[in-house]
Amino acid sequence: MRMFKGTLVAGLLSLLATTPVLAAELEISDARLRMLPGDRPGAGYFKLYNAGDEPAAVVGAETDAYASVELHMSMEKDGMAMMHGVERFEVPPGETREFAPQGYHLMFMKPQQSLNIGDEVEVRLILEGDERIETTFEVVSPAAL
Protein backbone atom coordinates (compact mmCIF):
# COMPACT_ATOMS: atom_id res chain seq x y z
CA MET A 1 0.00 0.00 0.00
CA ARG A 2 2.84 2.39 0.85
CA MET A 3 4.41 1.76 -2.61
CA PHE A 4 1.04 2.45 -4.27
CA LYS A 5 0.70 5.82 -2.45
CA GLY A 6 4.21 6.84 -3.50
CA THR A 7 3.49 5.90 -7.12
CA LEU A 8 0.17 7.75 -7.03
CA VAL A 9 1.75 10.92 -5.58
CA ALA A 10 4.59 10.79 -8.11
CA GLY A 11 2.09 10.32 -10.92
CA LEU A 12 -0.02 13.28 -9.78
CA LEU A 13 3.03 15.51 -9.44
CA SER A 14 4.15 14.51 -12.93
CA LEU A 15 0.69 15.31 -14.32
CA LEU A 16 0.67 18.73 -12.64
CA ALA A 17 4.13 19.52 -14.01
CA THR A 18 3.03 18.81 -17.57
CA THR A 19 -0.42 20.47 -17.43
CA PRO A 20 -0.37 23.64 -19.56
CA VAL A 21 -1.02 26.98 -17.90
CA LEU A 22 -4.50 28.30 -18.68
CA ALA A 23 -4.71 30.91 -21.45
CA ALA A 24 -4.75 34.54 -20.45
CA GLU A 25 -8.18 35.81 -19.50
CA LEU A 26 -8.88 37.78 -22.66
CA GLU A 27 -12.31 38.71 -23.96
CA ILE A 28 -12.66 39.53 -27.65
CA SER A 29 -15.56 41.58 -28.98
CA ASP A 30 -16.63 43.41 -32.15
CA ALA A 31 -14.38 41.24 -34.37
CA ARG A 32 -14.72 42.39 -38.00
CA LEU A 33 -12.73 41.57 -41.10
CA ARG A 34 -12.85 44.40 -43.65
CA MET A 35 -12.71 42.64 -46.99
CA LEU A 36 -11.35 44.35 -50.09
CA PRO A 37 -12.11 43.14 -53.64
CA GLY A 38 -10.02 40.50 -55.39
CA ASP A 39 -6.76 39.25 -53.92
CA ARG A 40 -6.16 42.40 -51.90
CA PRO A 41 -5.43 42.04 -48.18
CA GLY A 42 -8.21 42.33 -45.63
CA ALA A 43 -7.95 44.17 -42.30
CA GLY A 44 -9.08 42.84 -38.91
CA TYR A 45 -10.45 45.00 -36.14
CA PHE A 46 -11.66 44.05 -32.64
CA LYS A 47 -11.66 44.97 -28.96
CA LEU A 48 -9.56 42.99 -26.52
CA TYR A 49 -10.25 43.10 -22.75
CA ASN A 50 -7.76 41.58 -20.31
CA ALA A 51 -9.76 40.29 -17.33
CA GLY A 52 -6.65 38.71 -15.81
CA ASP A 53 -4.13 39.93 -13.24
CA GLU A 54 -1.13 39.86 -15.59
CA PRO A 55 -0.37 41.69 -18.85
CA ALA A 56 -1.13 39.69 -21.99
CA ALA A 57 0.52 40.14 -25.38
CA VAL A 58 -0.76 39.20 -28.83
CA VAL A 59 2.20 38.17 -31.02
CA GLY A 60 0.35 36.92 -34.11
CA ALA A 61 -2.76 35.39 -35.59
CA GLU A 62 -3.70 32.61 -37.99
CA THR A 63 -6.68 31.45 -40.01
CA ASP A 64 -7.37 28.91 -42.73
CA ALA A 65 -9.08 31.62 -44.80
CA TYR A 66 -5.81 33.51 -45.54
CA ALA A 67 -2.24 32.37 -46.22
CA SER A 68 -0.92 34.60 -43.43
CA VAL A 69 -1.98 37.18 -40.88
CA GLU A 70 0.27 40.01 -39.70
CA LEU A 71 0.06 42.51 -36.82
CA HIS A 72 0.26 46.06 -38.17
CA MET A 73 0.15 49.66 -36.99
CA SER A 74 -1.13 52.55 -39.11
CA MET A 75 0.09 56.08 -38.49
CA GLU A 76 0.50 59.42 -40.14
CA LYS A 77 3.95 60.91 -40.66
CA ASP A 78 4.61 64.21 -42.43
CA GLY A 79 1.03 64.20 -43.71
CA MET A 80 1.40 60.73 -45.26
CA ALA A 81 -0.47 57.63 -44.11
CA MET A 82 1.94 54.80 -43.32
CA MET A 83 1.71 51.25 -42.04
CA HIS A 84 4.30 48.90 -40.61
CA GLY A 85 4.42 45.46 -39.00
CA VAL A 86 4.75 45.06 -35.24
CA GLU A 87 5.92 42.06 -33.24
CA ARG A 88 3.56 42.32 -30.26
CA PHE A 89 0.55 44.13 -28.87
CA GLU A 90 0.27 44.27 -25.09
CA VAL A 91 -2.95 44.56 -23.07
CA PRO A 92 -2.45 45.51 -19.39
CA PRO A 93 -4.60 43.75 -16.77
CA GLY A 94 -8.08 45.22 -16.36
CA GLU A 95 -7.84 47.27 -19.56
CA THR A 96 -9.38 47.19 -23.02
CA ARG A 97 -7.34 47.82 -26.15
CA GLU A 98 -8.79 48.23 -29.60
CA PHE A 99 -7.56 47.12 -33.00
CA ALA A 100 -9.10 49.85 -35.18
CA PRO A 101 -8.69 51.72 -38.48
CA GLN A 102 -5.75 54.15 -38.35
CA GLY A 103 -4.22 52.23 -35.43
CA TYR A 104 -3.28 48.64 -34.63
CA HIS A 105 -4.95 46.02 -36.81
CA LEU A 106 -4.51 42.57 -38.33
CA MET A 107 -3.63 42.30 -42.02
CA PHE A 108 -5.07 39.20 -43.68
CA MET A 109 -2.79 38.35 -46.61
CA LYS A 110 -3.57 36.22 -49.69
CA PRO A 111 -7.15 34.90 -49.41
CA GLN A 112 -7.35 31.12 -49.64
CA GLN A 113 -11.09 31.01 -50.32
CA SER A 114 -13.84 33.21 -51.66
CA LEU A 115 -15.51 35.30 -48.96
CA ASN A 116 -18.67 37.37 -49.04
CA ILE A 117 -20.02 40.14 -46.84
CA GLY A 118 -21.69 38.51 -43.83
CA ASP A 119 -19.48 35.40 -43.85
CA GLU A 120 -17.74 34.36 -40.65
CA VAL A 121 -14.02 33.57 -40.44
CA GLU A 122 -12.45 31.61 -37.57
CA VAL A 123 -9.25 33.31 -36.39
CA ARG A 124 -6.80 32.21 -33.72
CA LEU A 125 -4.94 34.96 -31.87
CA ILE A 126 -1.47 33.81 -30.83
CA LEU A 127 -0.36 35.01 -27.41
CA GLU A 128 3.10 35.19 -25.95
CA GLY A 129 3.91 31.69 -24.70
CA ASP A 130 2.34 30.16 -27.84
CA GLU A 131 -1.19 30.09 -26.38
CA ARG A 132 -4.08 30.55 -28.82
CA ILE A 133 -7.53 32.06 -28.44
CA GLU A 134 -10.07 31.33 -31.14
CA THR A 135 -12.70 33.85 -32.17
CA THR A 136 -15.02 34.54 -35.08
CA PHE A 137 -14.64 37.59 -37.32
CA GLU A 138 -17.61 38.82 -39.35
CA VAL A 139 -16.71 39.79 -42.93
CA VAL A 140 -17.80 43.40 -43.56
CA SER A 141 -17.65 45.90 -46.39
CA PRO A 142 -14.96 48.63 -46.29
CA ALA A 143 -17.83 51.12 -46.16
CA ALA A 144 -19.09 49.52 -42.90
CA LEU A 145 -16.19 50.97 -40.88
pLDDT in tens, 62-116: 999 999 999 999 887 888 877 888 999 999 999 999 999 889 999 999 999 899 9
With residue 43 as reference, give the H or E element that holds it.
Answer: strand 42-50
- Give the global pTM: 0.79
pLDDT in tens, 14-69: 444 333 334 558 999 999 999 988 888 999 999 999 999 999 999 999 999 999 99
Using CA atoms, how far apart are residues 97 and 9, in angstroms rounded to an integer? 43
Three-state helix/strand/coil letters over 93-112: CCCEEEECCCCEEEEEEEEC
